[in-house]
Amino acid sequence: MNAPVPAAEAANQSAATVFPDPVGASKISARGVSVFYGQKRAIDDVSIEIPQNYVTAFIGPSGCGKSTFLRSLNRMNDTISGARVDGEILLDGVDIYRSGMDVVQLRARVGMVFQKPNPFPKSIYENIAYGPRIHGITASKGELDGIVEQSLQRAGLWDEVKDRLSDSGTALSGGQQQRLCIARAIAVDPEVILMDEPCSALDPIATARVEELIDELRGRYAIVIVTHSMQQAARVSQRTAFFHLGKIVEYGTTSDIFTNPKEEKTKDYITGRYG
């Protein structure tokens, strides 16, 4: 559960809006987060609580900072030269930006699935086995085989690929490749899965399959998804944050955001007046 915000801290935060989660149990807490690319501020003092076992959608017009903020949740911005993050991002109460944080380990705990499926140019088996092997999760071949099967099962891909595990991952269809990438993220036993427009390169049938999968996975993980599709946000998420110009304008249950938004800007966006 969230600790109550001490009065002194609350006073310090008075200038910025803190967005608590309606259910109160956070996996990730962002406190006063700003992200810069050189001099440019792409995220401006964002504070939000992201819950376990829910899908949280980030929506908003192009360039508002959704992907930038998503990448800050597993320090993916570290890989972009000139990018800088201020503020705190707590994973189970521990600041992921504190010195000494093992970033490789962090990215196993907070996995990421990208817009364009990006399997390694290796076999289906190796795509899944690579992570557990480098993280030292398995000791034996038998155990590794078990992880490969279980990850592909959870990603809903096992039946389609079990007879061709040595085929290249890149030979699969786009939708299958994306489920392979989800299986790869799952294989290292993550706690959070970040998804940056995971269906934008997929056809409607493959999209529906990945959306079903997201719904199944949320029982085990906290999932955060950036999407341009409001229909997708409404279908797959239980929480929605609306971003605009680097800030969160409104955050709440997905049904409230889509049926009863409080802010004019949110209303304008979800009714298609801009975006």
**Residue ranges in contact with ligand ATP by CB under 6 A:** 37, 42, 60, 62-68, 80, 228
CB of 161 to ligand ATP, least distance (A): 30
The amino acid at residue 236 is: V
Are the beta carbons of 205 and 161 closer than 8 angstroms?
no
- The b/e string for 205-230 (b: 16+ C-beta within 10 A; e otherwise) is ebbebbbebbeebbeebbbbbbbeeb
Task: For residue 163, give both structure tokens.
Answer: 């007879």
Rg (CA), the chain: 19
- Minimum Å gap between C-beta 159 and ligand ATP is 33
Note whether 85 and 72 are within 8 A (CB).
yes
Nearer to ligand ATP, 62 or 99 (CB): 62
| 79 secondary structure, DSSP code | G
- List the strands of the sheet with 26-37, edge to edge: 18-19, 40-51, 26-37, 83-91, 94-95
Q: Considering beta carbons, is residue 137 or 245 the nearer one to ligand ATP?
A: 245
CB of 111 to ligand ATP, least distance (A): 19
Q: How far is the CB of 68 from ligand ATP (least distance, A)?
A: 3
- Report in angstroms how near the CB of residue 43 gets to ligand ATP at its nearest: 8
Cβ proximity to ligand ATP, 59 vs 234, nearer residue = 59
Contacts of 166 (CB under 8 A, 6+ apart): 123, 124, 125
Task: DSSP letter for 21, please.
Answer: -
Q: Which is nearer to ligand ATP, 243 or 258 (CB)?
A: 243
**Contact by Cβ (8 Å): 169, 124:** yes
Nearer to ligand ATP, 30 or 64 (CB): 64
Q: How far apart are CA 192 and CA 73, in angstroms?
A: 10
**Least separation in angstroms between CB 31 and ligand ATP:** 19
The vertex-185 CA angle with 151 and 234, nearest 5°, equals 100
* Minimum distance of ligand ATP from residue 250's CB (angstroms): 15
Give 144 or 230: the residue with its C-beta nearer to ligand ATP.
230
CA 82, 32, 242, 245 dihedral sign is negative
Report the residue number, 26 or 68, with the smaller CB distance to ligand ATP: 68
79 versus 99: smaller Cβ distance to ligand ATP:
79
Cβ at position 80, least distance to ligand ATP in Å: 5
- CB hemisphere CA count around 92 (13 angstroms): 7
